[in-house]
Amino acid sequence: MKIKQIYLDMDGVVVDLHTAFLANHGFVLTEENWPVGYKKGSQVMGMSQEEFDAPIMKAGATFWQGLKPYGWFEEFWQELNAIAPVCYLSSPEYGPGCAGGKVKWMQERHGEEFGDFVLTSRKELLAAPGCVLIDDTIRNLEKFEAAGGRGVLFERPWNTPGSRERAPHKQVLAQLKALATH
Ligand SMILES: [Mg+2]
């Protein structure tokens, strides 16, 4: 298939949201200590979602702007762009601070004129033949595929129980290259 457009999730794929989320509650996340079978940080901490999210809601844009990219970010970004045009596709579900902080994060890395992003929780609206979504949330991929796009899972401990994959971006790049030649 010809890959015309790559849509790239941010949280859990290019930015290390989970480490920052859990640090708010004093949990030091490593690649090894995410409990097997857990999907959410609130589960890891044994908190309600509201309680878990409270410090994030309070911090606003600074929290999102300050999120650290994973070690593979630069290489992954360059390799993806060599395959097809890339557009960030990310959810603004934590309100205006979240949306504004994410825009600042992208502009810090790609320049003030950078506009290759869509902020929506309805990622499937962008689905079309030749369009690929890379995401760590299985539900997003299911909806994107049902709407006519192609989903590629970015493997992380919270979507693949027991995963200790240290180079998930390499798996994704190999899958994209295989897709492009079939
Ligand atoms: Mg994500």
Reported as a single tens digit per residue, the pLDDT across 117-145 is: 999 999 999 999 999 999 999 999 999 99
pLDDT at residue 137, as a whole number: 97
Question: Which of 7, 177, 1 lies closest to 91 in space, CA to CA?
Answer: 7
Tokens representing 70 are: 């994973």
**Is residue 112 very low, low, confident or very high in pLDDT (cuts 50, 70, 90)?**
very high
| Percent share of the chain, pLDDT over 90 | 87
Q: What is the pLDDT of residue 166?
A: 84
**16 CA to centre of ligand 1 in angstroms:** 10
Contact (Cβ atoms closer than 8 angstroms) between residue 9 and residue 133: yes
The residue type at 100: G
> Number of H helices and number of E strands within the chain?
8, 5
What's the CA-to-centroid distance between 10 and ligand 1, angstroms? 6
Q: How far is it, in rounded angstroms, from Cα 70 to Cα 166?
A: 11
pLDDT-derived band at 30 (thresholds 50, 70, 90) equals: confident
- Asked if the model's pLDDT at residue 31 lies above 80, the reply is no
Helix, strand, coil percent content, the chain, rounded in steps of 5: 45, 15, 45
CA-to-CA separations, 42 to 54, 102, 163, in angstroms, rounded: 11, 22, 19
- Residue 156 sits at the vertex; the CA angle it makes with 161 and 96, to the nearest 5 degrees, is 125
Measure the CA–CA gap between 41 and 169, rounded to whole angstroms: 22
Residue 154 Cα to ligand 1 middle (Å): 9
The CA 55 to ligand 1 mean position distance, Å, reads 19
State pLDDT tens for residues 1-13.
999 999 999 999 9
At 40-87, the pLDDT tens digits run 999 999 999 999 999 998 889 999 999 999 999 999 999 999 999 999
The dihedral built from the CA positions of residue 159, 97, 47 and 23, taken in this order, carries a sign that is positive
Which residues keep their CB under 5 angstroms from ion ligand 1? 9, 11-12, 136
Q: In angstroms, what is the span from residue 17 Cα to ligand 1's centroid?
A: 9
CA of 58 to the centre of ligand 1 (A): 21
Cα 93 to middle of ligand 1, angstroms: 12
pLDDT(97) > 80: yes
CA 9 to centroid of ligand 1, rounded, Å: 5
Rounded distance from Cα 112 to ligand 1 centre (Å):
24
- The confidence band for 32, taking pLDDT boundaries of 50, 70 and 90, is confident
Provide the pLDDT confidence category of residue 95 given band limits of 50, 70 and 90: confident
Using the mean position of ligand 1's atoms as its centre, give its distance from the Cα of residue 82 in Å.
22
The DSSP H or E segment spanning 152 is strand 150-153
Cα distances (angstroms) measured from residue 172 to each of 152, 168, 180: 7, 6, 12
Range list of β-strands (E), 20-139: 86-90, 117-119, 131-135
Ligand 1 center to 37 CA (angstroms): 17
Question: Is residue 165 predicted with pLDDT exceeding 90?
Answer: no
Q: Please, what is the average pLDDT of the chain? A: 95
Which of the residue ranges 4-13, 88-97, 107-116, 145-154 would you say has the lowest mean pLDDT?
A: 88-97
